Amino acid sequence: APPPEKKRWLRAYLELQRLQAPPQRRSEKPNWDYHAEIQAFSHRVQENFALDLLKTAFVNPCYIESEEERRRQLGLDKDAVALQLQDNTGLAERGLRFARAYLAHCFEGAYPELPAKGIEALVNFLTSQELVSYVAQNLSIQDLALCRDFPAPPDVLQRTFLAVIGALLESSGPERTGIFVRDFFIPQLIGKDLFEIWEVVNPMGLLLEELTKRNISAPEPRITRQLGVSTVLPVYFVGLYCDKKILAEGPGETLLAAEEEAARVALRKLYGYTENRRPWDYSKPKQGLAAEKAISSN
C-alpha cells in the first residue's frame, strides 16, 4: 500500500513553519562541499590559487573567537582539540596595500592631470566598504566566508575579499593580481562622475589654483544664456572666459549655482575626466614590468 501522506490539514502549518524559519547560512543547508566550492570559486574567477592560502583567506577572526567559545562551552580541553586556523588579517592588509598602490598607479597613468587628492578620493571610493562588499556578494564570497554572524556584515566581506586578493598576490605574483584588481574594481567607475566620488567644497578656488599652475589668467564669468528669469525655475548658463576665450559653460538655477557648475565643468575638462573621454584600456599589458616591481616593493 502507498505510504500515508502528510495530512491535508497539516500542510498549511508546515508551509508557515518553512516560511518563518530564520535564514540560515548556505553551508548549513543540505548539499554543501567546501573544498569543491573553493575549487569552483578559483575556476569561476579564472585564477590559480594556492588552495591552503585561499582557505586561510576566508577565515575571519570573529569565526576563530566563536569556535573557541563553543569549544569552551562544550567543556573540551584546549590542547586536545587545538584550533589550527590562521585568520586573514595579514592577507587582508597586504591585499589592501597592493590594491591601493595599484589603483593609484593606474589612475596616475590614465589621468596625469588629476591632483593627489582626487586620486586618493577615487581609490578610497573603490576600496570603500559598500563597493567591495557589493562585488564580494556577487562573487558568492558571502557563502564561502567563515564568520560569526549571518548574513555577513559588509566590513567582514570587505576584509575577506581583500584577503583573497592578498592570497592571489602570494600565489600568482603582482602582475596577475594587478589584472584581477583592474578587472573587478575599475568597471565600478563606469557611469560615475568625478565630483560624485570626490567631494569638492570650493570648485572655484580649486580652479583658480589649477589655472595659476598653468599660467592662465583668472576666469571671468559671464552670463551666456538665461531662460525664465522671472519665473520660479530660472535657468542660467554661465560661461567662464580666460583672455576672452571660453573655458567652460555650466547651467544652474541661480547665478551662483551656475557659476559653481561652470567651475566644475572646467575642472572636469582640465583633469580629462569628461564623459566623452576614451574608455579604459583593458588590453593585456606587455610592458610595465618595472612598474610592477616598484609596486611589489611597497
Partner 1 sequence: RYVRQLQRLQLLFSPTAADARGARQFVEESAQDFARQHPDVVLYVSPHSGPGPAPVLRAEYLNGTVREELIASKTSEEIVQLATKLANQSGLDIIRIRKPFHTDSPSVQGQWHPLTNKPSILTIQGPRLQPQ
Considering only residues 26 through 85, tell me which ones interact with partner 1, judged by CB under 8 A. Answer: 30-31, 33, 36-37, 39-41, 43-46
- At closest approach, how far in Å is the CB of 163 from partner 1? 19
C-alpha cell at 93: 592588509
Strand partners, 113: none
Regarding 225 and contact with partner 1 (CB under 8 A), the answer is: yes
Of positions 27, 129, 224, 296, contacts partner 1 by CB under 8 A: 224
Q: Pick the piece of the chain touching partner 1 (CB under 8 A) from 76-84, 135-143, 253-261, 264-272.
A: 135-143
Query: Could you say which residues in the range 227-286 bind partner 1, by CB under 8 A?
Result: 227, 237, 239
Q: Give every CB contact of residue 87 below 8 A, 6+ residues apart in sequence.
A: 56, 59, 60, 61, 63, 64
CB of 140 to partner 1, least distance (A): 5
H or E stretch at 19: helix 8-20
Query: Rounded to the nearest whole angstrom, what is the least distance from the CB of residue 32 to partner 1 in the complex?
Result: 8
Tell the smallest beta-carbon distance from residue 46 to partner 1 (Å): 6
Give the three-state DSSP class for 220.
Answer: strand
Sheet of 220-227, strands arranged across: 220-227, 235-242, 245-252
- State the cell numbers at 45: 574567477
Q: Which residue among 140, 172, 188, 296 contacts partner 1 (CB under 8 A)?
A: 140
Between 194 and 223, how does the x/- string for binding to partner 1 read (CB under 8 A)?
----------------------------xx
Q: Which is nearer to partner 1, 97 or 237 (CB)?
A: 237
Query: At a CB cut-off of 8 Å and minimum separation 6, what does 211 contact?
Result: 217, 218, 219, 242
Q: Smallest distance, Å, CB 142 to partner 1?
A: 9
Closer residue to partner 1, CB minimum distance, 43 or 192: 43
Q: Which is nearer to partner 1, 25 or 97 (CB)?
A: 25
Kindly state the number of chain residues that form the binding site for partner 1, as judged by CB under 8 A. Answer: 27
CB of 150 to partner 1, least distance (A): 14
Angle between the 116-126 and 89-110 helix axes, to the nearest 10 degrees?
A: 140
CB count, 10 Å around CB of 51? Answer: 14
Q: Residues near 241 by Cβ (< 8 Å), separated by ≥ 6?
A: 219, 220, 221, 222, 247
CA 261 to chain centre: 27
Binding site residues, partner 1, CB under 8 A: 2-3, 30-31, 33, 36-37, 39-41, 43-46, 138-140, 143, 183, 222-227, 237, 239
